[in-house]
């Protein structure tokens, strides 16, 4: 009886007072308003591109190269093929260096080079994309000319700090007991990392790689100094190569309506690809291993 009385007497205290209820509703409304302010620009951009560029997403868009300036028709096959190839090459650079750097920071925290590697990763994360383009321009373009490889190198540099940070944080989530179990069997540390720790964190690492790809897929500035662009389909990485961000930039600054229409369609395709990549990354992060 005493317990029931105590519960009964506690119930009125658990109810929100009118002032607290008003504060709760006010804060909820402010949070909703802030969320709308963040999401509204993205929705407006997407709606604008749907209205202006959806009509240009036809079969010609995916199967033909751009028509001469001002003429109707044509597509962005050269840009789509170039973007896919450069992103694939950039992934090789970004994943290999980024995952290796993340492993080093997470698994060897007492190594004397660890502070230097962390500082370099943080500096890379803050360097503007156009500066990365200038670095690739100095390393490759001045010696060998414009090429898709130079563009891939610039994009790979942009991917490295994102993959490094993601890999480090994901590896830190793997319990220490997992490492100790492998070491207790007499396995070397590098074998434990490659065969036990990395498979346990593979889902998070894949998420980081996909987010890095989504980050660099829309970069046009570094490609202006490196890939330069190409009006025809080119799969040779040693020659100039086009990309979606380049064609979007050039079409948007063109004086002809047809070029602007293709640029808006290209922007719609690029945003859709980035959105799908982000969704796949979220899905990969939820996969339990």
Per-domain boundaries in the chain: 59-288
Question: What band does 15 get if pLDDT is binned at 50, 70 and 90?
Answer: low
Return d(Cα 244, Cα 216) in angstroms, integer: 12
pLDDT confidence of residue 2: 46
Inform me whether the pLDDT recorded for 68 exceeds 90: no
Return d(Cα 142, Cα 170) in angstroms, integer: 39
59-288: CATH homologous superfamily?
MetI-like (1.10.3720.10)
Inform me whether the pLDDT recorded for 1 exceeds 60: no
Token pair, residue 24, equals 């709760």
Q: Which residues pair with 228 in a beta bridge?
A: 241
Query: 3-state DSSP helix/strand/coil percent for the chain, to nearest 5?
Result: 75, 0, 20
Closest C-alpha among 121, 109, 118 to residue 179: 109
The 3-state DSSP class for residue 32 equals helix
Closest C-alpha among 202, 212, 214 to residue 284: 202
Cα torsion 39, 42, 45, 46: sign:
negative
Inform me whether the pLDDT recorded for 270 exceeds 70: yes
How many alpha carbons lie under 13 Å from residue 216 in its C-beta half-sphere?
A: 36
Question: Is-contact 96 164, C-beta < 8 A?
Answer: no
Q: Model-level pTM?
A: 0.84
Token pair, residue 117, equals 């590697």
pLDDT confidence of residue 81: 95
Token pair, residue 51, equals 């209205």
Inform me whether the pLDDT recorded for 6 exceeds 80: no
Return d(Cα 228, Cα 154) in angstroms, integer: 13
Residue 19's Cα: distance from chain center in Å? 44
Token pair, residue 88, equals 């694939």
pLDDT confidence of residue 143: 93
Q: Which residues pair with 241 in a beta bridge?
A: 228
Question: Is-contact 239 147, C-beta < 8 A?
Answer: yes
List, for residues 117-163, the tens digit of each pLDDT value.
999 999 999 999 999 999 999 999 999 999 999 999 999 999 999 99
Q: Which residue has the tokens 């105590």?
A: 6
Q: Which residue has the tokens 């490295």?
A: 160
Inform me whether the pLDDT recorded for 13 exceeds 50: no
Residue 173's Cα: distance from chain center in Å? 21
Q: Which residue has the tokens 């597509």?
A: 75
What average pLDDT score do residues 20-42 get?
Answer: 91
Question: What band does 285 get if pLDDT is binned at 50, 70 and 90?
Answer: low
Return d(Cα 247, Cα 250) in angstroms, integer: 5
Return d(Cα 156, Cα 160) in angstroms, integer: 6
């Amino acid at each position: 009886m005493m317990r029931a009385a105590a519960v009964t007497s506690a119930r009125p205290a658990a109810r929100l007072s009118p002032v607290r209820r008003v504060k709760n509703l006010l804060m909820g409304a402010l949070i909703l308003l802030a969320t709308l302010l963040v999401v509204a620009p993205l929705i407006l951009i997407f709606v604008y591109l749907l209205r202006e560029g959806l009509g240009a997403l036809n079969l010609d868009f995916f199967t033909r190269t751009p028509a001469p300036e001002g003429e109707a028709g044509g597509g962005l096959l050269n840009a789509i093929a170039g973007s896919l190839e450069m992103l694939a090459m950039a992934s090789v650079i970004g994943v290999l260096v980024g995952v290796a750097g993340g492993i080093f920071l997470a698994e060897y925290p007492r190594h004397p080079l660890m502070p230097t590697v962390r500082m370099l990763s943080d500096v890379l994360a803050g360097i503007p994309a156009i500066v990365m383009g200038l670095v690739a321009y100095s390393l490759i373009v001045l010696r060998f000319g414009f090429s898709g490889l130079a563009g891939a190198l610039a994009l790979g540099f942009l991917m490295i700090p994102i993959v490094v940070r993601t890999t480090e944080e994901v590896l830190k989530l793997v319990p220490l007991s997992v490492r100790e179990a492998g070491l207790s069997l007499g396995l070397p540390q590098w074998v434990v990392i490659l065969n036990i720790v990395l498979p346990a964190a593979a889902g998070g690492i894949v998420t980081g790689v996909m987010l890095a790809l989504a980050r660099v897929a829309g970069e046009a500035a570094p490609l202006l100094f490196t890939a330069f662009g190409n009006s025809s389909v080119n799969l040779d990485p040693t020659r100039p190569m086009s990309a979606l961000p380049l064609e979007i930039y050039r079409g948007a600054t063109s004086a002809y309506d047809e070029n602007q229409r293709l640029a808006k369609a290209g922007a719609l395709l690029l945003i859709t690809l980035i959105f799908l990549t982000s969704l796949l990354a979220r899905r990969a992060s939820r996969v339990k291993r």
